[in-house]
Amino acid sequence: MPPLVTIGVTAFNAQDNIERAVRSALQQDWSNLEVVVVDDASSDQTGEIVERIVLKDSRVRLVRHAKNLGVGAARNSIINAASGEFVAFFDDDDESEASRIGAQWARIMRYEMKFAMGAPVICHTARLQTTGDGAERVEPTMGCREGASAPHGPAVASRILWGTRLDQGFGAVATCSQMARTSTYRATGGFDAAFRRSEDTEFCVRLALMGGHFVGIDSPLVRQKLTARADKTLDNELKYKLMLLAKHKQTAPTPGHFSAASGFLRFKYALQRRARFSALICLLQLLVTHPVLTTDRLDQAIRRGASKPNLAHFTR
């Protein structure tokens, strides 16, 4: 029998989507799985809908928070409750291809045998994102080259935080497409509950600093519906991205890297707010104070299409 995999679903006020998300988990073609849903103190019918599913399928368990603790704490509740050897995260507004768990397990196992040398391995897949107006884009992930060492160690943290170039390093590391050994999550200390956004990125930075390897699957095995919610405002996105940089400021190669990365975030989010004059001022200041780092980040953004204009549709 294949190892038990815990599929963790975080949910908050997701009554319109949660049944579909849980069904997506239960329809995986992996024969040995459990589904742990954490209801983070929803004020709608999310918990009641999951309770009805639990009565019909013994593979599903529900954990309910008495008060809203945020997505980082909800993910930690999943890790604590997991009985599986592996944990795969699904989000309440996403659906996954039925082959996702099997594909990620196989990718991790192949990589562990050939390249990991005992280091922790985490796997993400590409995602097919759909915005409210029906537009679609494929969001890639890093480390998709088979038969080769994947991005790993502090170089990944530097890529995420400071924009340092890294072979196979382009792409997102979103938790909704993530799978790893349960022991990896526990050894890393889980997610920082202080982060109500960017908790996935912050976790990956700490895993990278511990020597973690980041493997990917370039097929979009997750279909992600970008939804508008109170916690997904651009202000919140910027707040927690700046908090992430501040938490790991000591890893910056130079003080200039921290200043440039913070300024570039403000520039990017001004663009996404369509505050073009503010964005222009930010960019001019960056070009004066950090010309080399700024032109390098601009070059990467232009070459790889990293500006993500569709983000404004669900984080306004």
- Confidence at residue 132, expressed as pLDDT on a 0 to 100 scale: 75
Phi-psi region of 41 (alpha: psi -120 to 50; beta: other; left: phi over 0): left
Domain C-terminal end among 225, 249, 269: 225
pTM, 2 dp: 0.89
Residues 163 and 309 in one domain: no
Residues 208 and 262 in one domain: no
Residues 111 and 194 in one domain: yes
Residues 221 and 234 in one domain: no
- Rounded to whole angstroms, the maximal C-alpha distance in the chain is 62
Residues 134 and 259 in one domain: no
- Confidence at residue 301, expressed as pLDDT on a 0 to 100 scale: 81
Q: What are phi and psi of 279, to 5 degrees?
A: -65, -40
| CATH code at position 81 | 3.90.550.10
Domain with 93, as residue range(s), is: 5-225
- Confidence at residue 314, expressed as pLDDT on a 0 to 100 scale: 36
Domain C-terminal end among 200, 225, 250: 225
- Confidence at residue 133, expressed as pLDDT on a 0 to 100 scale: 78
- Confidence at residue 33, expressed as pLDDT on a 0 to 100 scale: 97
The parts of the chain modelled with pLDDT lower than 70 are: 227-232, 304-316
Question: 129 has which bridge partners?
Answer: 137, 224
Look at the chain and report how many structural domains it folds into: 2
In the chain the first and final C-alpha atoms are separated, in Å, by 47
Q: What is the pLDDT of residues 108-142, one digit of tens each?
A: 999 999 999 999 999 999 999 988 778 899 999 99
In degrees to the nearest 10, what's the CA dihedral of 75, 77, 83, 85? 30
Residues present in the chain in total: 316
- Confidence at residue 227, expressed as pLDDT on a 0 to 100 scale: 66
- Confidence at residue 2, expressed as pLDDT on a 0 to 100 scale: 95
Residues 219 and 101 in one domain: yes
Percent residues over pLDDT 90 in the chain: 80
- Confidence at residue 313, expressed as pLDDT on a 0 to 100 scale: 38
Tokens describing residue 212: 């973690």
Domain C-terminal end among 225, 257, 282: 225
